[in-house]
A and B are shown apart, each in its own frame.
Chain A
Amino acid sequence: MISVATVFATLFGIPLGVLLHVSAPNGLRPLPVLHRILGVVADFGRSVPFIVLIVLLQQIVTRPLLSTSIGPTAAIVPLAIGAVPFLGRLVQSALREVDATVVEAAVTTGASRLRIVRSVLLGESAPALVSAVGVTAVTLVGFSAIAGVVGGGGLGDLAIRYGYQRYDDRIMWTTVIVIGLLAMLLQFLFDRVARLIDRRRHVTA
């Protein structure tokens, strides 16, 4: 559930972040109107409480798409859609960290915008992008727990059904700890990969 949602969020979140970045006033292709619209969509999307998003999407997307609005598969839809604007903003700020001089140097080689996006922006921020996807995945762990409300299954489901509804403290705490461990494991793995592909000198404390 989390992995499918993460893949989906990555597929759409990275292009969203790239568009946000290049359409900015001092970007590679300033498009003020598109930039505004995407910005509003991204911020609005992130500000809607996840529980509201679940209910909202049930009617307009989930049911028409999957002809069901409950269960683990159905939970993927709000998870993925909720994560796209979140990741989009993270990607945008990762791309902002790419040095303007480096981008300009590529511009002077006569590279097309597409090549600059691919080779320079995405290439240079690859470690930061992996981290951003990691942060998104960890956030999705938390969201997926909320998805338990609509019978999303998984640990969140367990925690709510046994812990909240049946007052079984042991199961509730166990699931909380397992969720926590899962989040930590994910964070660890993504950080590891990010460091592994980063060619800059690491500052080791």
Chain B
Amino acid sequence: MITVDNLVKSFSSRAGSVRALNGVSLEVQAGSVCGVVGPSGAGKSTLARCIALLERPDSGAIRVDGTDLVSLDGSRLRAARRQIGVVPQGDSLLRQRTAAGNIALPLESAGVDGPVRRKRVGELLDLVGLTDKAASYPDQLSGGQRQRVAVARALAANPAVLLADEPTSALDPETTGSVLTVLDRARAELGVTVLVVTHDMAVVRRICDDVAVLEDGKVVEHGKVLDLVSDADSRTAATLLPGLDQGEGLIGTHDRVADVVLVGFAAVGALLPEASNRFGVELAVLGGGLTRLGETPVARFRVGINGERADSALEWISEAGAVVRRTPKGPQGVAA
């Protein structure tokens, strides 16, 4: 749905020139939620602004639904913009208009008016759960409610794509949840493709199918979240999975030590106890834990195994669908 191809964007100022995007390529499937993460200054907002057609890249292509948007102008540019709903970074609501009035703005731009517009605004207020706040002004709403109005506004003209830049950055964890629920509903009920820029891994954990890690204007990692967490070396795994740094003192007392990543219901519940029974080994969890990525439970454990058939047990766990990585040479390998 969204294809970004080798995007380059530099900013020049008196202080010199900054290459904010240095050949960024990205692919977001229709109907999926893709997170863009990375350290401050990595170019996340610049990427989002390019796709939102607020910034013109120096080179490269941006295709939404197959149409290249980079070269558009005038009324065709405005028409393309209606295909892309944007929740900008920061407060972006009209403060002199009610929630309903804000949501109506894109419909006014599209020439939708009268009862049709009112009906659509009503539907959107319902979607974001703010029907009772229709007549409230932004200053009478909480941060999370304002952000939900901004999402509703971005969705008003029925865009194919929704871009959200740090939609939860100013919110506490609970309020963040309400905004993420709305983004998730937008995908589920309206079928929009969502690109969400965030520095908060909780956002990726909760709603993203895919993730792209940006660093210094380059994509250093891109793929399905569930695939990336299985790769012990990925940054996504490092930040999303439970930490392993507990219990290192115990490592030396085991014949084998391995890190095991388990994805999905069946695996997480039963695999380790069953391996223990089957091979008659003593299996201890040294570190790690359980988490949830979207609806999927995911676990990463550091396990210590004692027993003759320790290797066979690890093999079996691996064949049963878990990702197993042995910690080389027990304690020395970890301590180094």
A111 touching B109 by the CB < 8 A rule?
yes
Stretch at the interface among B76-84, B277-285, B315-323: B76-84
B54 touching A108 by the CB < 8 A rule?
yes
Query: In chain A, what residue has the closest Cβ to B110?
Result: A110
B96 touching A199 by the CB < 8 A rule?
yes
Query: In chain A, what residue has the closest Cβ to B90?
Result: A101
Stretch at the interface among A15-23, A117-125, A145-153, A172-180: A117-125
Is residue A126 contacting chain B, with contact meaning CB distance below 8 A? yes
CB of B273 to closest CB in A, whole Å: 53
Is residue B92 contacting chain A, with contact meaning CB distance below 8 A? yes
Q: With A124-B95, A126-B96 in contact, is A108–B108 under 8 Å at CB?
A: no
Q: With A123-B97, A200-B139 in contact, is A108–B88 under 8 Å at CB?
A: yes
Name the A residues within 8 Å of B78 (CB-CB): 110-112
Q: Spell out B's residues near A (CB within 8 Å).
A: 52-54, 78-82, 84-86, 88-97, 105-106, 108-110, 137, 139-140, 150, 153-154, 156-157
10 nearest CB pairs, A to B: A109-B106, A105-B92, A108-B86, A110-B81, A111-B109, A201-B139, A110-B78, A110-B82, A199-B137, A101-B92
B92 touching A109 by the CB < 8 A rule?
no
Given contacts A102-B95, A106-B105, A110-B82, 10 further A-B contacts (CB under 8 A): A101-B89, A102-B91, A104-B88, A105-B93, A106-B94, A108-B86, A110-B80, A123-B94, A123-B97, A201-B140
Is residue A198 contacting chain B, with contact meaning CB distance below 8 A? yes
B92 touching A110 by the CB < 8 A rule?
no
Q: Spell out A's residues near B (CB within 8 Å).
A: 99, 101-102, 104-112, 115, 119-120, 123-124, 126-127, 197-201
B96 touching A124 by the CB < 8 A rule?
yes
**Which one of A115, A119, A120, A201 has the greatest number of beta carbons of chain B within 10 Å?**
A119
A107 touching B110 by the CB < 8 A rule?
no
Name the B residues within 8 Å of A120 (CB-CB): 94
B92 touching A102 by the CB < 8 A rule?
yes
Name the B residues within 8 Å of A106 (CB-CB): 94, 105, 109
Consensus secondary structure, chain A interface = helix
A109 touching B157 by the CB < 8 A rule?
yes
Residue from A107, A115, A126, A200 in contact with B54 in the complex, judged by beta carbons closer than 8 Å: A107
Q: With A104-B88, A105-B88, A110-B79 in contact, is A119–B105 under 8 Å at CB?
A: yes
17 sampled A-B residue pairs with Cβ under 8 A: A102-B93, A104-B92, A105-B86, A108-B81, A108-B88, A109-B82, A109-B106, A109-B109, A110-B109, A111-B78, A111-B108, A115-B108, A119-B105, A120-B94, A127-B96, A197-B96, A201-B140
CA–CA, A101 and B52, complex, Å = 13
Name the B residues within 8 Å of A127 (CB-CB): 96
Name the B residues within 8 Å of A200 (CB-CB): 95-96, 137, 139
Q: With A104-B54, A104-B88 in contact, is A110–B96 under 8 Å at CB?
A: no
A112 touching B109 by the CB < 8 A rule?
yes
CB of B53 to closest CB in A, whole Å: 7
Residue from A102, A104, A107, A110 in contact with B94 in the complex, judged by beta carbons closer than 8 Å: A102
Query: In chain B, what residue has the closest Cβ to A102?
Result: B92
Name the A residues within 8 Å of B95 (CB-CB): 102, 124, 199-200
CA–CA, A201 and B146, complex, Å = 14
CA–CA, A109 and B139, complex, Å = 22
CB of A164 to closest CB in B, whole Å: 46
CB of A166 to closest CB in B, whole Å: 52
A109 touching B105 by the CB < 8 A rule?
yes
Name the A residues within 8 Å of B84 (CB-CB): 108
CB of A4 to closest CB in B, whole Å: 29
Name the A residues within 8 Å of B53 (CB-CB): 108
Name the B residues within 8 Å of A201 (CB-CB): 139-140
CB of B49 to closest CB in A, whole Å: 9
**Which one of A99, A112, A127 has the greatest number of beta carbons of chain B within 10 Å?**
A99
A107 touching B105 by the CB < 8 A rule?
no
Name the A residues within 8 Å of B96 (CB-CB): 123-124, 126-127, 197-200
